[in-house]
Chains A and B, each alone.
Chain A
Amino acid sequence: MVLIETHDLTKHFGTLAAVEGVSLRVEAGEILALLGPNGAGKTTTIRMLASILRPTRGTAQINGFDVVQEPIEVRRSVGFLTEHHGLYTRMRPQEYLEFFGSIYKLATNVIRERTVDLLAQYGLSEASELRLGQFSKGMRQKLILIRALLHDPAVLLLDEPTSAMDPSSAHMVRESISGLRSANRAIVVCTHNLSEAEMLADTIAIILRGRIIALGTPKELKQKLLGDPVMELRLAGSLDGGLRCLPPGIKTLDTGKNWLRYQVAQPEIVNPKVLQAMTEAGVKVVTLSEVERSLEDVYLQVIAEGENNPGREG
């Protein structure tokens, strides 16, 4: 089931095109990461999805509701973790969550039950007597995640959920987000943290100057933008024997004293042939493995291309 669908979504602020022609589909159970540098249009995009900003052009449907025609239903379907927590600092957590629960018209007993459960789940039960102004950054971030989850929304929009957090708090929040994946829920995470996007997302959309310039799974993006997988063969002895017995057609990329790297479109077919050839030639193989290529490589390449071709659309 498609829970988020946008077509040609565009937002202009005066003469500034903040978002231009964004088309996305996010299915239930899927996590999409909107990846891009500061000012790329990530926040504007999800503010349109949350029906806070009105698109200049294009359409967006959230859980079947149109963001322009049915804003109240859209906001009811969405849990929005804003970039800035903006808590009411004189309130206590229970009271704060009761306030938001009542806005979503949840019954008082339901709010109480969920609040208690969620506070316990996120390790905030102990802090229930504190005022929110006394919360640490990590605690605040967890609380606003709870706020976004309180009404069990079909769509979660998370804007920079770990920005400016220390590594352990960020890790904790990432783990929490990962745990929110459910068959009935779609999640969009805006981030400029590459490892966070790679860790959480099924699909990544790289956005630059308001345009989606790359879209796909992390694997697809790597394949598409960095080419075929690169394999590394490590031998027990010197490389000379190994190089001689490589099957024809294999293009070596790099070599060392006892290793070589080659690029291959179909490793499942080619690699067994390589191993067989080595065995038959009596060359002892220590390892044959795929070289890990990071999303950072993809990102930097895409951004560089995007900067050089500002008119290109994804």
Chain B
Amino acid sequence: MTAFLEHYNYWIAIFLMMAGFYTVVARGNLVKKIVGLNIFQASVFLLYISMGKVEGGTAPILSGKPEVFSNPLPHVLILTAIVVGVATTALGLSFIVRINESYGTTEEDEIQHMDDEP
């Protein structure tokens, strides 16, 4: 039980990961799929950021005094990953706009139905 509680940050990340993944798979609306994808990616950001935390560590700013720092590298990596996530979301949403223009809907099953007809 204590092991469970000590690693609560990972449980949060796993919960968000599964929630996002489920949304991507189960929802038929394309916008909801993108939202699920975002939650899925955000969970990985949390996983990275929380792994860099050192107990009692502060921000890694050089002050001359001997101090314990948290590892800044995962934060920097995630900055890049967030940019990638923003680009993915933007591209996904712009596809949805164009899909809506040419199909008149953003529901996956209706699009599937229209593709099967001709």
The answer on A and B forming one complex is no
